[in-house]
């Protein structure tokens, strides 16, 4: 019986792809770093197009979509081989995108063009382009697929798009430089972070009315430098983990009370994050320090820094059935 | 002589849907040209549309936001040659709009601000860095989006302090603005505990493009010992010829070398690349500090109109000077206005021609209100009373 762990370990070593993975886009290296979630080490580095930023997997994780911003394209990548399968028309300078729940349509923010582009990933065609505010960035689609959101950084708005007609049906002002949007609580609330405003605005999706605004304050850091960017929800949407940019902290926000419960020190200029399968670990991309901080969600402590490429931007989890 | 242009929402192809409910916000861009000083080098010509292109970009940004909110902005461009009297045109323009962005010397700014027609208007100084405009000659209807000399030189002295370059010498040009810049450098050095051991006026009238290698070593040979050589030459007439020709190998700063500026193409972070690329598309050239100041003025009005849903100048002024106003200015921190003299507070990039070296306020320079107020005239030292 004592040899059992060894027997288990051998197949794991022989086929490292069995462990779940965290994929990181490195904006200034034109690469992706693949982190093995068991060993917390980079196991693969994959060359992609210029200035990769937004990354997301298809619903069955069979392909990865990458915004190659300076190549003006979305690349579709086979995550097993790391090969670029084909490219999708994306409009100019795609920065961030979201995959519709139908697993087929990508909603893409074209940062330089003030446009949201809707691409059909099957026919590989652009099905709609929607004029939005200046420097669109944050993208979200409601869980029922009916509403898409684009936030525009210089116009300081969330644009509410009807995915049936592909037209804007509402515009709501948020604080300066909105960066990221998420539908939470089964799509009843929309959260929008504002980097320069230093807040997250919470909206009632049914009415588009603002419910509240969440403020942040990190000890010893001037409020101007506390800049919320990416955020993701823990299991059951009970808490949000909010990346606070150049304040180098993650805020843990109680999603019921809208109170900040904790601040966790991570690497420099923390930008986005994602969780592992059971959401027990968070992986944050730290642009300036060029690394990923791994946070243990239970203890709310950073447990490891992992060196990746230059200027890590996005993070996307991939289960591999291991 | 006068060039009046009207760039309206319609000419930019951004039609708003319901014109009846549309809030109309006309803005004026008025330039009273200054006679340009002849300089030795032809390498950096002053763009014809300097400042104006920044205002136009601000207009375009405002229009994009406005189309979602039923706001329509327009920009009327008025150009007045140096020898002409700007007041008749300014008077007439103020009857058409209370929002005027000015690219003009200090005397013109004050003359316009003092017009009866300008009382209750919102004027923006997008060109002049003179200290008196923020001090004893401040006006309640004149806000400043252009950085003052003191903001620029405080930024540089913070850097020298952080580097422990404590011994400084200064070469000054002969133009009045060189003297103003030199005075600001001297005051900033004192503010941050540094000493300018010697100030030496530039004396040559020869063509330094040919002579710098012969003249500058001798000119700098007898300077006091120093860690950093400062140059006050606002038009960059001779400053560019100093580097690498000095008697002792020392870094240079001020008008050449390490320059404290409100904006430069080398500022890449904080989304600045997007602003540069929008500006390049519009103007086909780099965005200068005056373009940035004009852009910030037009955007400040747009941001205030958006947040207050009003085009009334008193409402807008109150909002701009309140704690609620913040403008995302692509420099990593929100920009706002100082309530004691109407100066827009903003970070100051310290740049070479190829890269951003640092951005002030530097870490460690603290202030009870905001670290941005370590740059320029702070409330207790401001002689301005018009805002009280």
What tens digit of pLDDT does each residue of A257-282 get?
A: 999 999 999 999 999 999 999 999 99
Residues of chain A neighbouring B333 (CB-CB closer than 8 A): 196, 224-225
Q: Which of B61, B332, B333 sits opposite A154 (nearest CB)?
A: B61
- What is the model's pLDDT at position B29? 98
- Give the range among A64-73, A220-229, B182-191, B238-247 with minimum mean pLDDT: A220-229
Kindly state whether A113 is in contact with chain B, defined as any CB-CB distance less than 8 angstroms.
Answer: no
- Torsion sign across C-alpha atoms B342, B266, B351, B211: negative
Of B52, B188, B134, the C-alpha closest to B386 is B134
Tell me, what's the pLDDT at A13?
Answer: 43
- Quick one: tokens of B381? 């030292």
Is 60 exceeded by the pLDDT of residue A209? yes
Q: Which of A132, A157, A196, A311 to mutate to test the interface with B (most CBs of B within 10 A)?
A: A196
Chain A residue with minimal CA distance to B280? A112
Any B CB within 8 A of A41 CB? no
pLDDT: is A6 or B237 the higher one? B237
* Structure confidence at residue B8 as a pLDDT band (50, 70, 90): very low
Q: Under an 8 A CB cutoff, do A222 and B65 touch?
A: no
Which of B328, B371, B372 is the closest to A154 by Cβ? B328
* For residues A289-313, average pLDDT: 97
**Average pLDDT across chain A, whole number:** 92
Closest partner CB to B370 (pick from A171, A197, A224): A224
Reported as a single tens digit per residue, the pLDDT across B71-96 is 999 999 999 999 999 999 999 999 99
Closest-CA distance, B196 to chain A, in angstroms, reads: 32
- CB-CB neighbors (< 8 A) of B347 in chain A: none
Tell me, yes or no, if B274 comes closer than 8 A to chain A by beta carbon.
yes
For chain B, say whether A173 makes contact (Cβ under 8 Å).
yes
User: Stretch A36-44: mean pLDDT, rounded?
Assistant: 96
User: From the list A133, A173, A224, which residue is nearest B333 (CB)?
Assistant: A224
Res B145 pLDDT > 90: yes
* Token pair of B56 as six digits: 């136009």
Contact check, Cβ <8 Å, A154/B307: no
* Chain B residues with beta carbon closer than 8 angstroms to that of A156: 65, 303, 306, 328
Say if residue B319's pLDDT is above 50.
Answer: yes
Token pair, residue B242, equals: 């100093």
Is the CB of A112 inside 8 Å of chain B's CB atoms? Answer: yes
The distance of A33 to chain B (nearest Cα, Å) reads 23
Cβ-nearest to B274 among A112, A159, A246:
A112
Complex-level ipTM: 0.76
Interface test with B, best of A130, A134, A178, A268 (most B CBs within 10 A): A134
Cβ–Cβ gap A246/B332 under 8 Å: yes
Contact B327 A176 (CB under 8 A): yes
Interchain contact, A157 vs B68, CB within 8 Å: yes
Q: Helix, strand, coil % (nearest 5) of chain A?
A: 5, 55, 40
For chain B, domains (ranges, CATH) are: 3-147+264-346 (3.40.50.2300), 152-260 (3.40.50.2300)
Q: Which residues of A touch B332 (CB under 8 A)?
A: 225, 246
Mean pLDDT over A53-78 rounds to: 95
Q: Which residues from chain B sit within 8 angstroms of residue A178, using beta carbons?
A: none
B365 contacts in chain A (CB < 8 Å) = none
B226 sits in which H/E element: none
pLDDT for B337: 98
A52 close to A312: Cβ distance less than 8 angstroms? no
B326:A197 CB<8 A: yes
For chain B, the C-alpha Rg in angstroms (whole number) is: 21
Whether A177 sits inside 8 A of B372 (CB atoms) is no
Residue with the bigger pLDDT between A40 and B204: it is A40
Chain-chain contact of A114 with B64 (C-beta, under 8 angstroms): yes
CA distance B223 to chain A (A): 41
Q: Give rounded-to-5 percent helix, strand, coil for chain B.
A: 35, 20, 45
**Cα angle A274-A315-A253, degrees, rounded to a multiple of 5:** 30
Nearest to B334 among A153, A155, A176 (CB): A176
- pLDDT at B9 exceeding the cut of 50: no
- Separation in Å, CA of A250 to nearest CA in chain B: 18
A100 vs B7: which has the higher pLDDT: A100
Nearest residue in chain B measured CA to CA from A176: B328
Residues 6+ apart with CB under 8 A from B220: B171, B229, B242, B245, B246, B247, B248
Which residue among A171, A222, A246 places its CB closest to the CB of B371?
Answer: A222
CA distance B302 to chain A (A): 10
Q: Does A168 touch chain B (CB under 8 A)?
A: yes
User: Do B65 and A154 count as a contact with CB atoms less than 8 A apart?
Assistant: yes
Task: Tell me whether B333 touches chain A (CB under 8 Å).
Answer: yes
Report residue B205's pLDDT band, with 50, 70 and 90 as the boundaries: confident
The Cα A285–Cα A266 span in angstroms is 9
Q: Which of B159, B125, B165 is nearest to B141 (CA)?
A: B125
Q: What is the pLDDT of residue A223?
A: 85
**A156 CA to chain B: closest CA distance, Å?**
8
Q: Taking 50 as the threshold, does the pLDDT of residue B272 lie above it?
A: yes
Per the CB < 8 A criterion, the answer to whether A45 and A39 are in contact is no
The pLDDT value given to residue A91: 86
- Whole-angstrom Cα distance, residue A259 to residue A253? 6
pLDDT in tens, A152-182: 998 999 999 999 999 999 999 999 999 999 9
pLDDT value, residue A18: 65
- Residue A251 preceded by cis peptide, ω within 30: no
Q: What average pLDDT does range B20-44 have in this prediction?
A: 89
Chain B residues touching A225 at Cβ < 8 A: 332-333
Inter-chain contacts counted by CB atoms under 8 A, chains A and B:
63
Cα–Cα distance, A296 to A294 (Å, whole number): 7
Report the residue of A109, A155, A167, A173 to disrupt the B interface, i.e. the one with the largest count of B CBs within 10 Å: A155
Scanning every residue of chain B, which has its alpha carbon at the shortest distance from the alpha carbon of A110?
Answer: B274
Nearest CA distance, B334 vs chain A (angstrom): 6
Q: Do A222 and B277 touch (CB under 8 A)?
A: no
Helices (DSSP H) in chain B: which residue ranges? 52-69, 87-96, 106-113, 149-163, 176-191, 208-221, 272-283, 289-308, 313-320
Pick among B14, B68, B356, B363 to test the A interface (most A CBs inside 10 A): B68
Q: Is A155 within 8 Å of B332 when comparing Cβ atoms?
A: no
CA-nearest residue to A288 within chain B is: B269
Residue A61 CA to residue B256 CA, distance in Å, equals 54
pLDDT band at B209 (very low <50, low <70, confident <90, very high): confident
The rounded mean pLDDT for chain B is 92
């Amino acid at each position: 019986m004592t040899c059992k762990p060894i027997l288990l370990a051998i197949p794991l070593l022989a086929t490292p792809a069995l462990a779940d993975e965290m994929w990181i886009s490195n904006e200034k290296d034109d690469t992706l770093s693949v982190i093995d979630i068991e060993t917390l080490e980079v196991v693969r580095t994959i060359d992609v197009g210029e200035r990769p930023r937004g990354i997301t997997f298809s619903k069955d994780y069979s392909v990865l979509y990458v915004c190659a911003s300076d190549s003006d394209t979305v690349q579709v990548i086979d995550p097993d081989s790391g090969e670029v399968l084909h490219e999708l028309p994306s409009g100019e300078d795609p920065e961030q995108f979201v995959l519709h729940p139908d697993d087929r349509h990508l909603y893409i923010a074209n940062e330089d063009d003030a446009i949201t582009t809707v691409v059909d990933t099957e026919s590989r065609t652009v099905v709609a382009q929607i004029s939005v505010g200046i420097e669109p960035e944050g993208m979200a689609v409601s869980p029922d697929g009916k509403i898409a959101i684009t936030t525009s950084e210089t116009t300081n708005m969330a644009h509410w798009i009807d995915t049936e007609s592909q037209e804007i049906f509402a515009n709501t002002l948020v604080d300066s430089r909105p960066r990221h949007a998420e539908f939470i609580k089964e799509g009843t609330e929309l959260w929008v972070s504002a980097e320069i405003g230093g807040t997250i605005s919470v909206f009632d999706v049914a009415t588009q009315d603002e419910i509240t605004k969440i403020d942040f304050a990190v000890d010893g850091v001037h409020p101007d430098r506390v800049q919320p960017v990416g955020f993701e929800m823990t299991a059951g949407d009970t808490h949000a983990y909010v990346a606070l940019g150049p304040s180098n902290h993650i805020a843990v926000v109680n999603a019921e009370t809208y109170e900040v419960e904790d601040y966790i020190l991570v690497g420099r200029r923390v930008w986005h994050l994602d969780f592992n399968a059971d959401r027990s670990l968070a992986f944050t991309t730290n642009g300036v320090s060029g690394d990923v901080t791994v946070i243990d969600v239970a203890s709310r402590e950073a447990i490891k820094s992992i060196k990746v490429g230059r200027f890590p931007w996005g993070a996307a989890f991939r289960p591999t059935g291991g | 002589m006068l060039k009046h242009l009207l760039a309206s929402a319609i000419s930019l192809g951004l039609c708003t849907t319901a014109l009846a409910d549309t809030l109309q916000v006309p803005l004026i861009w008025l330039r009273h040209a200054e006679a340009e000083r002849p300089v030795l080098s032809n390498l950096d010509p002053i763009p014809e549309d300097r400042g104006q292109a920044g205002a136009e970009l601000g207009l375009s940004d405002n229009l994009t936001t406005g189309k979602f909110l039923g706001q329509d902005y327009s920009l009327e461009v008025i150009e007045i040659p140096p020898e002409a009297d700007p007041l008749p045109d300014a008077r007439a323009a103020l009857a058409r709009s209370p929002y005027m962005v000015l690219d003009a010397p200090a005397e013109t700014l004050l003359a316009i601000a003092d017009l009866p027609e300008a009382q209750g208007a919102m004027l923006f100084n997008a060109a002049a860095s003179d200290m008196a405009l923020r001090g004893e000659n401040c006006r309640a209807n004149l806000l400043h989006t252009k950085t003052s000399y003191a903001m620029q030189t405080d930024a540089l002295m913070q850097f020298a302090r952080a580097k422990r370059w404590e011994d400084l010498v200064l070469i000054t040009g002969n133009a009045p603005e060189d003297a103003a810049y030199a005075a600001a450098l001297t005051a900033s050095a004192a503010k941050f505990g540094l000493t300018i051991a010697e100030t030496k006026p530039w004396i040559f009238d020869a063509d330094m493009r040919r002579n710098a290698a012969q003249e500058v070593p001798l000119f700098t040979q007898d300077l006091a010992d120093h860690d950093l050589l400062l140059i006050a030459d606002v038009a960059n007439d001779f400053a560019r010829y100093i580097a690498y020709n000095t008697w002792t190998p020392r870094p240079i700063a001020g008008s050449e070398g390490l320059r404290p500026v409100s904006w430069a193409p080398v500022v890449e972070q904080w989304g600045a690349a997007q602003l540069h690329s929008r500006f390049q598309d519009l103007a086909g050239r780099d965005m200068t500090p005056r373009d940035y100041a004009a852009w910030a003025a037009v955007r400040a009005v747009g941001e205030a109109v958006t947040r207050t849903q009003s085009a009334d100048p008193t409402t807008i002024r109150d909002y701009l000077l309140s704690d609620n106003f913040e403008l995302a200015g692509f420099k990593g921190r929100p920009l706002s206005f100082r309530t004691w003299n109407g100066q827009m507070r903003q970070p100051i990039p310290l740049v070479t021609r190829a890269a951003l070296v640092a951005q002030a306020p530097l870490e460690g320079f603290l202030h009870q209100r905001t670290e941005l107020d370590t740059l320029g005239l702070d409330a207790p030292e401001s002689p301005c009373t018009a805002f009280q």
